[in-house]
Amino acid sequence: MGQKIQAIRGMNDILPQQTPYWHKLEAILRQLMAAYGYNEIRMPIVEKTQLFKRAVGEVTDIVEKEMYTFDDRNGDSLSLRPEGTASCVRAGIEHGLLYNQEQRLWYMGPMFRHERPQKGRYRQFHQLGVETFGIATPDVDAELILLTARLWKALGIDDSVVLELNSLGSNEARANYRDALVEFLSPLKEQLDEDSQKRLQTNPLRILDSKNPEVQQLVADAPKLADYLDTESVEHFARLRQILDANGIVYKVNQKLVRGLDYYNRTVFEWVTDKLGAQGTICAGGRYDGLTEQLGGHATCASGFAMGIERIVALMEEIAPIEISDADLYLVAIGEDAEISAIQVAEQLRTELPQLRVRNNFGGGNFKKQFKRADKSGAQLALVIGEQEVKDKQVGVKFLREHKEQLMVSQSDLIETIKQILNL
Ligand code: ATP
Ligand code: MG
């Protein structure tokens, strides 16, 4: 036997017991996006490294230590995408989708970050990304939140998530606040941990959301971002809250919510759960009015979010499990003629009732063995064909999940009978 080759650490196979959750989530997402009038866009998984350096920021965790970067055969530096917003903006500029118009876009697919693998944190993971362009007003920020709230309801996980909200203000307000924060923290530098000391130079706002309790205590008395907001941002935030209140969305304003990426301004938000341990953020986003210009396009307002599909699937498994089965109908056939007849019957069922999942018993086996397989498949009904049934053009219908007498129906009545039994 050759040596086994294993998957790359942090890159997961999604197994057949899990794909029903993905299918459910994906189907609801597609419908939801359409219901709000958003269009799908698909971007490549690999981009020039420069794109992420410029969009996400040179001194962010993602660019500093999490990117899968390599040289192409012609020497260009490329990276597997660590997130989708940069690619989406790049594509929008490249194809003239953003200038002087509105766009409401979404995409779904794998992202790659070289992080320490643990529950809810992987090296290949999947995101749904939603991005809007050309709308400056807070109504669209509110809509992004409303549509996510609707999703949690549809998935049955709405009781397990809470919304946190903050405003980062204009770039200028943020820069002023940054100076004030650095001034406050600099004399305390020695008391900060190594990460925060580094961030004091590179990305001081991130110190606010440090998980280290000692650092948290130090920043408790730091100047407050809310006191530095510009008037327009204050109004924008108030209007956003007014729309959310009017729609019954409950949220907590978290002044320390700053997000890890460089490009946000004004609104930022996160949906968080306490059911998944440390990796509790399932969806995060905000406004990024400056990014398009930063990437060489015309100045374009933008607002969006990304959600972590693995974390949402984990929450569904925990809170709203779905019953998983391989089939709705299982055909049991005893004898060579019956085996052929069962294949014909199954084909006819698939033509007439395409919404059902129909499995044939293959490889023979006695009644007992075949019924065991039928039961294991999770099917509601076993359809039984033996030599006699072939002669009489009949099918036995056996209830696998209810205590009911087996029926004998003619092949010509089979479709109607199944429709009645399964309420189709
Ligand atoms: P975190 O604070 O958990 O590292 P982040 O701020 O890096 O998250 P974003 O870049 O905002 O995350 O990505 C949006 C969402 O994608 C996150 O809220 C999370 O649900 C998911 N996500 C991010 N990184 C990973 C990962 N390595 N594995 C699985 N899901 C992830
Ligand atoms: Mg991260």
18-71 pLDDT per residue, tens: 999 999 999 999 999 999 999 999 999 999 999 999 999 888 889 989 999 999
- Hunting for tokens 């009781």 — which residue is that? 159
- As given in the structure block, the two tokens for residue 329 are 């109908």
What percent of the chain is modeled with pLDDT above 90? 88
What Rg value do the Cα atoms of the chain yield, rounded? Answer: 28
Q: How far is CA 204 from CA 169, 177, 239, 401, in A?
A: 16, 10, 28, 61
Of the candidate CATH numbers 3.40.50.12780, 3.30.160.270, 1.10.645.10, 3.30.930.10, the domain formed by 19-170+230-319 belongs to 3.30.930.10
- As given in the structure block, the two tokens for residue 155 are 């998935």
Report the distance separating Cα 173 and Cα 265, nearest Å: 10
Residue 259 CA to ligand 1 centre (angstroms): 10
Q: Is it the case that residue 239 has pLDDT exceeding 70?
A: yes
Number of the ligand 1 atom closest to the C-alpha atom of 312: 20
Report the distance separating Cα 54 and Cα 100, nearest Å: 23
- What torsion, rounded to 10 degrees, do the Cα atoms 21, 23, 26, 31 define? -120
For atom 7 of ligand 1, which residue has the closest CA? 260
Ligand nearest to the CA of residue 276, numbered in listed order = 1
Q: Is it the case that residue 407 has pLDDT exceeding 70?
A: yes
- The finding on whether 257 has its CB within 6 A of some atom of ligand 1 is no
Residue 308 CA to ligand 1 centre (angstroms): 6
Q: Shortest CA distance to 205 belongs to which of 271, 266, 259?
A: 259
Residues forming CATH 3.30.930.10 domain(s) in the chain: 19-170+230-319
Class of domain 329-422: alpha beta
- The finding on whether 114 has its CB within 6 A of some atom of ligand 1 is no
For atom 9 of ligand 1, which residue has the closest CA? 284
Residues forming CATH 3.40.50.800 domain(s) in the chain: 329-422
At 202 the pLDDT is: 85
Ligand nearest to the CA of residue 127, numbered in listed order = 1
Ligand nearest to the CA of residue 82, numbered in listed order = 1
Return mean pLDDT, the chain: 95
Of 90-94, 183-187, 210-214, 316-320, where does mean pLDDT reach its minimum?
210-214
- The finding on whether 122 has its CB within 6 A of some atom of ligand 1 is yes
Q: Is it the case that residue 255 has pLDDT exceeding 80?
A: yes
- The finding on whether 279 has its CB within 6 A of some atom of ligand 1 is yes
Residue 8 CA to ligand 2 centre (angstroms): 19
For atom 8 of ligand 1, which residue has the closest CA? 281
At 206 the pLDDT is: 87
Q: What is the pLDDT of residues 79-138, one digit of tens each?
A: 999 999 999 999 999 999 999 999 999 999 999 999 999 999 999 999 999 999 999 999
Ligand nearest to the CA of residue 277, numbered in listed order = 1
Q: Is it the case that residue 346 has pLDDT exceeding 80?
A: yes
- Hunting for tokens 């809007």 — which residue is that? 132
Residue 100 CA to ligand 2 centre (angstroms): 33
- The finding on whether 280 has its CB within 6 A of some atom of ligand 1 is no
Angle made by CA atoms 396, 346, 364, in degrees to the nearest 5: 70
For atom 21 of ligand 1, which residue has the closest CA? 308
Q: Is it the case that residue 260 has pLDDT exceeding 70?
A: no
Pocket test for ligand 1, best of 256, 279, 287, 309 (most atoms within 8 A of CB): 279
34: enclosing H helix or E strand: helix 19-35
